[in-house]
């Protein structure tokens, strides 16, 4: 609608030319993405079979650095994959699209799980804040890219912080 276009134009003016930090961030992102892709390709090339124990006790076979929790959920039942928000691998929160690294236990979390609610809600809030304040950059929301072993600890820390924020009533 016309009103929406006017609102968008007012709140998101087109920057011509872009500020210098935009080009720097894009260059840095592209460099890090190339390094990450090369590392993941190397690890995937050396992939070995892994055993994944599901929450119901069943064991399935996957490939290290290739198989993701989402792929396993799709293999089990499509609805299961569609309803999963995040997973828990060996007790740690794990993104659905992050490849499994070794033998592990896997639990798929749905929105009725407290941790899944916290992650889902904070990603939504993060995306909203980034749309309102683009200069915030990457705050680690659902659009963040991380391929190192710190992803689980970052997610766990963010869930803990989110719980404290919601308990304190800061968002009310």
Query: pLDDT tier at 147 (50, 70, 90 boundaries)?
Result: very low
Question: What are the residue ranges spanned by the domains of the chain?
Answer: 47-110
Q: Sheet of 92-94: strands edge to edge? A: 59-63, 49-54, 104-110, 84-89, 92-94
The CATH architecture annotation of domain 47-110 reads Roll (3.10)
Whole-number Å distance between alpha carbons of 65 and 43: 6
Q: What's the pTM?
A: 0.61
- pLDDT per position as a tens digit, 1-20: 555 555 555 555 566 677 78
Query: Do the beta carbons of residue 87 and residue 53 sit within 8 Å?
Result: no
User: 55, 108 in Cβ contact below 8 A?
Assistant: yes
State the DSSP string of 150-171.
THHHHHHHHHHHHHHHHHHTTT
90 with 104: CB under 8 angstroms?
A: yes
Mean pLDDT, range 131-142, rounded to an integer: 54
Picking from 137, 139, 148, the residue whose alpha carbon sits closest to that of residue 98 is: 148
Q: What pLDDT does residue 141 have? A: 45
Q: Which residue has the tokens 């990603």?
A: 123
pLDDT of residue 167 exceeding 90: no
pLDDT digits (tens, 9 = 90+) for 44-62: 999 999 999 999 999 999 9
> Of 37, 67, 30, whose CA–CA distance to 52 is shortest?
67
Alpha helices (runs of H) in 47-150, residue ranges in sequence order? 69-76, 78-83, 114-132
């Amino acid at each position: 609608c016309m009103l929406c276009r006017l609102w968008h134009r007012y709140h998101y003016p087109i920057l011509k030319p872009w500020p210098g930090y935009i080009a720097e961030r894009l260059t840095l992102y592209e460099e890090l993405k190339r390094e990450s892709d090369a590392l993941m390709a190397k690890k995937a090339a050396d992939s070995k079979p892994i055993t994944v124990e599901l929450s119901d006790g069943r064991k399935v076979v996957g490939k290290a650095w290739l198989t993701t929790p989402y792929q396993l959920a799709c293999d089990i039942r499509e609805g299961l994959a569609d309803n999963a928000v995040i997973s828990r691998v060996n007790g740690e929160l794990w993104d659905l699209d992050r490849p499994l690294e070794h033998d592990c236990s896997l639990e798929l979390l749905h929105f009725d799980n407290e941790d899944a609610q916290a992650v889902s809600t904070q990603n939504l809030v993060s995306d909203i804040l980034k749309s309102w304040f683009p200069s915030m950059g990457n705050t680690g929301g659902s659009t963040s890219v991380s391929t190192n072993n710190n992803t689980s600890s970052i997610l766990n820390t963010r869930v803990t912080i989110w719980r404290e924020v919601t308990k304190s009533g800061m968002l009310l």
